Amino acid sequence: MTDAERKLWGKIRKDNVKGKRFYRQKILGNYIVDFYCASAKLVIELDGGQHYKKDGKEKDSIRDAYLASEGIKVIRFSDLDVLKNLDGVLQRIYENIK
């Protein structure tokens, strides 16, 4: 795990978000997502620099469209967001839990 993934995982594991269980490195279709909450149908992706280049954006767009077609919402954060503003990231996750 990256430092950002480790930091976020420490906060969302063990049913710490509204009693919801998150899994890490979960396979969904042909993709592996960073974090997934099945009961909320929510994926959390942490993006490093490669995700902000043209090729990375295109791949993410295709993947997000597939997940949306399965009824799964994807929220994305940069690694820097997690490392510098973890409270804000957690607040947005809480807002997206159904």
Q: Which fold has domain 3-96?
A: Endonuclease; Chain A (3.40.960)
Tell which residue, 80, 77, 66, has the closest CA to residue 12.
77
- Which letter does DSSP use for residue 85 in this model? -
The structural domains of the chain, with segments of one domain joined by +, span 3-96
In the predicted model, is pLDDT for residue 1 greater than 90? no
- What is the overall mean pLDDT for the chain? 91
For residues 96 and 41, what is the distance between their CA atoms, to the nearest angstrom?
A: 10
Is the distance from CB of 81 to CB of 89 less than 8 angstroms? yes
Render pLDDT for 50-94 as a digit per residue (tens, 0 to 9). 655 677 678 889 999 999 999 999 999 999 999 999 999 999 999
Which pTM does this prediction carry? 0.88
**In degrees rounded to 5, what are phi and psi of residue 81?**
-55, -45
